[in-house]
């Protein structure tokens, strides 16, 4: 595959380099921000070699699949001149120009906020995935060998990388949050650093045999109480403060006075308000997860698995990334084991089953060709081609795929499956499932596939609708 040629063709259909505002990638999608959507040829983009689908959101999400998208991004960045994850110089003007249009096209304020949350975490995924795998594999090695490698320099060096990401992740979250909300990333990074537990922090030091006590609570500051949520809120707050101060600060002193006031004022709000709020929200997330997973049991597993594909279809599944990160944190309540992700991963199995049923029952050769090309990558966990090319446009198979996936969600709940990282699904999901649960994971995935197959075969196939959309 000629990635340079693909990138050149893609850039042309996106309206040229001057129409590009941002360019970055998640696991399967090239996410491109554009200035003027009227200059974009969506149909031509969908026809480009390697493009599996396009999701139109606050950014254009062009689906290439895992691995391929990173190579395309490298070539694309060299053409646009915009660093990965960076923004063009006139983002504010672009945002203002498109504000009304985006408000109409991309849902309610909650939806738009969740997309911003996704934008904060998507650039962090490569590190989160790698660190999670390091921690999970190291745990297996320690248990299986009785700690035989403990103290060996190269082994502990690698383990340090897994530890470092989760220990200092609030810094990166604060950095990206400030950037996403229009502030200086470094100020957000400093806000995130205040959410990292470090005995050398002056606020945690001892003065005259006594620790510093906060007003109102009369307790010692707990940097990690708010977790990643506090870091995210702090980054957003610091960005807001900076924007407001820039508007009123005289130009002569703006360069040093604005960041100084942001840090001084924002730090007090962070310690007194955002950390407690973050702590409440974090506890709330764990309580909800515990209720759905533990109290609702198989019903909760079914609902979670059956309801996940609609989130994927509009790109909102990335908003769950902070929850997955908290669940995979070795210092968190679940000790780094994510019991939610395996349930959600069953959605892909339901869709594969629906695709197989369609392939066997329909007589439309065009649809059969789409399915034939999509099923192999769908089995490996890349469901976008099948979803955007077949099941979602048809409607019925998408619904039966969702309902069938719930069967896998029930099995995943019964088996109490846990993941040590994220970033892959489908058959490749065995790589991140806890040691010893791989067979149970495959059985659950086959259950989802069977559910999607049976429901689609019985209720999801309308040959007239198929011929109407794809031609007889």
Q: What is the pLDDT of residue 108?
A: 61
Please give the structure tokens belonging to residue 1: 């595959």
Report the topology of domain 3-103.
Gyrase A; domain 2 (3.30.1360)
Which of 11-25, 57-71, 329-343 is predicted least confidently? 57-71
Greatest alpha-carbon pair distance for the chain in Å reads 85
Better pLDDT: 281 or 175: 175
Q: What is the pLDDT of residue 91?
A: 37
Is residue 260's pLDDT more than 90? yes
**Between helices 298-306 and 346-361, what is the axis angle to 10°?**
60
pLDDT digits (tens, 9 = 90+) for 422-468: 878 889 899 899 988 999 999 999 999 999 999 999 998 889 888 88
Range 198-210 average pLDDT: 89
pLDDT digits (tens, 9 = 90+) for 119-163: 888 788 888 888 888 888 888 888 888 889 999 999 999 999 989
Q: What is the pLDDT of residue 7?
A: 93
Q: Label residue 472 by pLDDT band (50, 70, 90).
A: low
Q: What is the pLDDT of residue 107?
A: 55
> Coil, strand, or helix at residue 163?
helix
Closest CA to 239 of 173, 193, 190, 181: 181
Give how far Cα 338 sits from Cα of 2, 109, 200, 330, 362, Å.
Answer: 38, 29, 31, 10, 39
Distance CA 129, CA 318 (A): 14
What b/e sequence results for 421-457 when a residue is b if at least 16 CB atoms lie within 10 Å of its CB, and e otherwise? Answer: bbbbbbbebeebbbeebeebbeebbbbbbbbbbbbbb
DSSP letter, residue 58? S
Is residue 220's pLDDT more than 60? yes
Is residue 90's pLDDT more than 50? no
Q: What is the pLDDT of residue 110?
A: 65
CB 378 within 8 A of CB 390: no
DSSP letter, residue 220? B
Active-site option among 26, 195, 402, 449: 26
Please give the structure tokens belonging to residue 460: 């999801």
Better pLDDT: 195 or 88: 195
Q: What is the pLDDT of residue 101?
A: 46
Range 331-347 average pLDDT: 89
Is residue 103's pLDDT more than 60? no
Distance CA 256, CA 184 (A): 13
Distance CA 89, CA 292 (A): 44
**Between helices 227-248 and 275-290, what is the axis angle to 10°?**
140
pLDDT digits (tens, 9 = 90+) for 353-405: 999 999 999 998 888 888 888 888 889 887 877 888 788 888 899 999 999 99
Closest CA to 196 of 227, 235, 240: 227
For residue 454, give every residue at least 6 positions away whose Cβ sits within 8 Å of its Cβ, in sequence order, or none.
Answer: 353, 357, 404
Range 23-39 average pLDDT: 86
Q: Chain-centre distance of CA 402, in angstroms?
A: 20
Is residue 89's pLDDT more than 50? no
Is residue 59's pLDDT more than 90? no
Q: Label residue 171 by pLDDT band (50, 70, 90).
A: very high
Distance CA 195, CA 198 (A): 9
CB 220 within 8 A of CB 273: no
Is residue 39's pLDDT more than 80? yes
Distance CA 34, CA 36 (A): 6
pLDDT digits (tens, 9 = 90+) for 63-84: 887 778 888 988 998 898 887 7
Range 165-177 average pLDDT: 93
- With 0-12 CB in 10 A as exposed, 13-18 as middle and 19+ as buried, what is 183? buried
Q: Label residue 471 by pLDDT band (50, 70, 90).
A: confident
Is residue 44's pLDDT more than 80? yes
Closest CA to 296 of 451, 452, 406: 406
Give how far Cα 428 sits from Cα of 379, 399, 425, 433, 455, Å.
Answer: 9, 24, 5, 10, 25
Distance CA 228, CA 193 (A): 11
pLDDT mean across residues, the chain: 87
Domain with CATH 3.30.1360.60 in the chain: 3-103
Catalytic annotation present for 26 = yes
Closest CA to 119 of 179, 35, 76: 179
């Amino acid at each position: 595959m000629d990635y340079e040629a693909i990138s050149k063709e893609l850039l042309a259909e996106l309206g040229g380099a001057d129409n590009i505002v941002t360019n970055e990638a998640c696991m399967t999608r090239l996410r491109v921000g554009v200035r003027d959507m009227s200059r974009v040829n969506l149909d031509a983009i969908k026809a480009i070699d390697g493009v599996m689908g396009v999701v139109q959101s606050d950014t254009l999400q062009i689906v290439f699949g895992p691995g391929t998208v990173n190579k395309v991004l490298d070539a694309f960045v060299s053409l646009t001149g915009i660093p990965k994850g960076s923004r063009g110089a006139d983002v504010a003007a672009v945002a203002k120009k498109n504000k009304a249009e985006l408000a109409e096209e991309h849902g309610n304020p909650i939806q738009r906020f969740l997309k911003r949350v996704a934008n904060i975490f998507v650039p962090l995924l490569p590190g989160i995935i790698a660190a999670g795998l390091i921690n999970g594999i190291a745990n297996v090695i320690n248990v299986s060998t009785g700690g035989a490698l403990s103290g060996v320099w190269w082994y502990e060096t690698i383990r340090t990388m897994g530890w470092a990401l989760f220990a200092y992740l609030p810094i990166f979250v604060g950095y990206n949050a400030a950037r996403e909300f229009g502030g200086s990333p470094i100020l957000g990074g400093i806000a995130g650093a205040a959410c990292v537990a470090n005995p050398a922090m002056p606020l945690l030091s001892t003065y005259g045999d006594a620790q510093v006590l906060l007003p109102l609570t009369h307790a010692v500051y707990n940097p990690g109480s708010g977790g990643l949520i506090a870091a995210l809120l702090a980054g957003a707050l610091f960005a807001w403060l900076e924007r407001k101060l820039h508007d009123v600060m005289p130009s002569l002193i703006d360069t040093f006075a604005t960041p100084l006031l942001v840090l001084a004022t924002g730090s007090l709000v962070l310690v007194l308000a955002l950390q407690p709020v973050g702590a409440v929200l974090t506890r709330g997330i764990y309580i909800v997860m515990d209720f759905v997973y533990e109290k609702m049991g198989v019903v909760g597993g079914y609902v979670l698995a059956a309801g996940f594909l609609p989130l994927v279809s509009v790109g909102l599944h990335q908003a769950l990334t902070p929850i997955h990160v908290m669940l995979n944190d070795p210092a968190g309540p679940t000790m780094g084991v994510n019991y939610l992700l395996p349930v959600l991963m069953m959605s892909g199995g339901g869709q594969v089953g629906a695709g197989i049923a369609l392939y066997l029952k329909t007589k439309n050769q065009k649809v059969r060709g789409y399915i034939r090309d999509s099923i192999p990558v769908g089995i490996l966990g890349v469901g976008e081609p099948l979803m955007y090319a077949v099941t979602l446009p048809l409607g019925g198979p998408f619904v039966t795929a969702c309902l069938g996936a719930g069967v896998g969600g029930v099995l995943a709940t019964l088996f109490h499956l846990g993941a040590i990282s994220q970033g892959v699904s489908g058959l490749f999901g065995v790589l991140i499932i806890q040691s010893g649960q791989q067979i149970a994971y495959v059985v659950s995935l086959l259950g989802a596939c069977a559910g999607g197959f049976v429901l689609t075969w019985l209720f999801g196939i309308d040959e007239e609708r198929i011929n109407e959309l794809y031609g007889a």
